[in-house]
């Protein structure tokens, strides 16, 4: 089966607003253009994607109760006690305030949690890694991540291709992750006006 329209929209909107520089109203009010720091340090950019997924898996609308061999039966009250909500917006604020030391352990925990979810989000993080680090299996013809060039409109197409092609089983595990990544990779090699 295909990803739901809600999941597709959530992913595509995240990418669009993140790369447009106005991911959250608090960042707009702060008038903090965080894109330059993210482009200069691609790991920071990838960490935004990791925290976006972590937030969706733990607090968002996409908490999967039964994924693969693991069953997540976390009462929402217990979840609030065990995890305090850390998301991409908090992380961008920390980047702005040069207060990132606190996040290294959280990023590691988020990576482990995502990997153990055994869901399509693992494949999404692989796409994000390829995109953020410009490390697609088929090399990209020209660099696409620079402050002058990057915007939401240009960033969404490979993610849109991926969300539209990806197929998942009833446990939300991807069935064609490599194929979807390859198609997103091909889209990155098309001229920007295509």
- Give domain limits for the chain: 5-188
- What's the mean pLDDT in 43-57? 94
Map residue 91 onto helix, strand or coil.
helix
Burial of 83 (0-12, 13-18, 19+ CB in 10 A): middle
Residue % of the chain over a pLDDT of 70: 83
pLDDT at 62: 46
110 pLDDT more than 70: yes
58 pLDDT more than 90: no
Residue % of the chain over a pLDDT of 90: 51
pLDDT at 164: 97
pLDDT at 181: 97
- What's the mean pLDDT in 130-134? 94
Distances (CA, A) of 190 to 37, 72, 142, 187: 27, 41, 10, 5
pLDDT at 84: 55
Map residue 167 onto helix, strand or coil.
strand
């Amino acid at each position: 089966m295909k990803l739901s329209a809600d999941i597709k929209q959530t992913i595509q909107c995240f990418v669009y607003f993140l790369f447009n520089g106005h991911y959250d109203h608090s960042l707009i009010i702060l008038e903090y253009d965080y894109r330059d720091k993210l482009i200069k340090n691609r790991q920071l950019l990838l960490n935004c994607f990791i925290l976006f997924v972590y937030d969706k898996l733990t607090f968002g609308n996409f908490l999967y109760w039964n994924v693969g061999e693991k069953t997540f039966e976390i009462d929402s009250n217990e979840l609030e006690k065990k995890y305090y909500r850390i998301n991409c917006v908090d992380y961008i604020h920390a980047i702005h305030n040069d207060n990132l030391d606190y996040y290294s352990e959280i990023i590691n925990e988020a990576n482990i949690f995502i990997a153990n979810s055994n869901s399509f989000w693992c494949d999404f993080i692989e796409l994000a890694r390829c995109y953020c680090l410009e490390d697609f299996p088929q090399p990209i013809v020209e660099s696409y991540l620079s402050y002058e060039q990057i915007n939401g409109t240009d960033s969404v197409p490979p993610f849109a291709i991926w969300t539209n092609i990806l197929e998942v089983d009833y446990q939300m595990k991807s069935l064609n992750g490599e194929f979807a990544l390859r198609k997103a990779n091909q889209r990155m090699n098309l001229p920007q006006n295509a």
